[in-house]
């Protein structure tokens, strides 16, 4: 199980999902993406657990999408609008996985949470970070942008614009002050009782039986945000396509036939 790029363990009623690519600082490639989605879905469906803890092996939670390997192959599709649109939709589906789960998800963040890793941490219900953790979305420095761009909903539009436009990182204290995370703990306490205890406390308060409350809290936001995410993917696709093949723009108009 520990050889998998993401695996599920159970500690009493807490499902623990671990990203396991520490040698690459848990950078997201196609294989990690698939393994993590699978592990989270299994955790959500397990009747023996009531809360999910998302953590990562190594010195960083996740540094975002891998710019080598399969990600480099995907980058080669940027000038094929249809392929790039599908890649963006897959990335959005991946990042929305914690948000769409029935059970509450607690994220345990150490080291770096950058790019897609930052968005993944924000999508969890509760995010606990080590005091020395760093957050940010530096994609702009690589002439790119995150697939979901959820930061404005969590920290407000003005500060999100600053961080997204400049690609700057912020420390855990700043992330806490902005509302990006819920709690800071000493780094030594992060992988032990502190976060697991929080997850158990959430379980003890009966969050398993508050599914209807969770659904009501998210219903309005889900409809609006998912459509926004999808349209962002479509707009970026059109811009890429327009730059590369201005004379063939009509080929992608079918992507705007619905709101999916």
Please tell me which residue in 74, 95, 108, 119 is annotated as part of the active site. 119
Q: How confident is the model at residue 11 (pLDDT cuts 50, 70, 90)?
A: confident
Kindly report, residue by residue over 16-64, the tens digit of the pLDDT.
Answer: 999 999 999 999 999 999 999 999 999 999 998 888 999 999 999 999 9
pLDDT at 38: 97
| 216 part of a folded domain | no
Place of tokens 């999910």: 52
The answer to whether residue 119 is catalytic is yes
At residue 106, what are phi and psi to the nearest 5 degrees?
-105, 125
In whole angstroms, how far apart are CA 138 and each of 35, 83, 128? 25, 24, 21
pLDDT at 142: 77
| 123 part of a folded domain | yes
Average pLDDT, the chain: 80
Provide the CATH number for the domain around residue 105.
3.90.226.10
Q: Give the residue with greater pLDDT, 103 vs 178.
A: 178
Q: Give the residue with greater pLDDT, 153 vs 72.
A: 153
Q: How confident is the model at residue 91 (pLDDT cuts 50, 70, 90)?
A: confident
| 253 part of a folded domain | no
Q: What pTM does this model have?
A: 0.80
In whole angstroms, how far apart are CA 186 and each of 113, 125, 183? 17, 21, 10
pLDDT at 77 over 70: no
Task: Tell me if 137 sits within 8 A of 117, measured CB to CB.
Answer: no
pLDDT at 250 over 50: no
| 99 part of a folded domain | yes
Please report the sign of the dihedral spanned by the C-alpha atoms of residue 171, residue 168, residue 137, residue 60: negative
| 81 part of a folded domain | yes
Please tell me which residue in 139, 194, 236, 248 is annotated as part of the active site. 139
pLDDT at 118: 96
- Number of folded domains that form the chain: 1
Residues of the domain holding 138: 6-210
| 240 part of a folded domain | no
| 1 part of a folded domain | no
| 195 part of a folded domain | yes
Residues 106-132 have a mean pLDDT of 95
């Amino acid at each position: 199980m520990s050889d998998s790029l993401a695996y599920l363990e159970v500690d009493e009623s807490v499902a623990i999902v671990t990203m396991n690519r520490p040698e690459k600082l848990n950078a997201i490639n196609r294989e990690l993406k698939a393994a993590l989605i699978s592990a989270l879905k299994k955790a959500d469906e397990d009747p023996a657990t009531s809360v999910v803890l998302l953590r990562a092996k190594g010195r960083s939670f996740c540094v975002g999408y891998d710019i080598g390997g399969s990600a480099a192959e995907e980058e080669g599709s940027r000038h094929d609008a249809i392929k790039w649109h599908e890649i963006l939709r897959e990335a959005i589906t991946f990042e929305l996985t914690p948000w769409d789960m029935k059970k509450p998800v607690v994220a345990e963040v150490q080291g770096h949470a950058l790019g897609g890793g930052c968005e993944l941490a924000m999508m969890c219900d509760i995010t606990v970070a080590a005091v020395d953790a760093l957050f940010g979305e530096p994609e702009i420095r690589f002439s790119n942008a995150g697939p979901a761009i959820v930061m404005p909903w969590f920290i407000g539009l003005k500060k999100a614009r600053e961080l997204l436009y400049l690609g700057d990182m912020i420390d855990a204290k700043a992330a806490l002050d902005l509302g990006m995370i819920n709690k800071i703990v000493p780094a030594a306490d992060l992988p032990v009782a502190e976060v697991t205890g929080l997850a158990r406390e959430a379980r003890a308060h009966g969050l398993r039986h508050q599914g209807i409350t969770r659904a009501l809290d998210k219903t309005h936001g889900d409809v609006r945000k998912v459509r926004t995410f999808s349209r962002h993917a479509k707009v970026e696709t059109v811009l890429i396509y327009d730059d590369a093949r201005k004379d063939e723009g009509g080929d992608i108009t079918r992507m705007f036939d619905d709101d999916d």
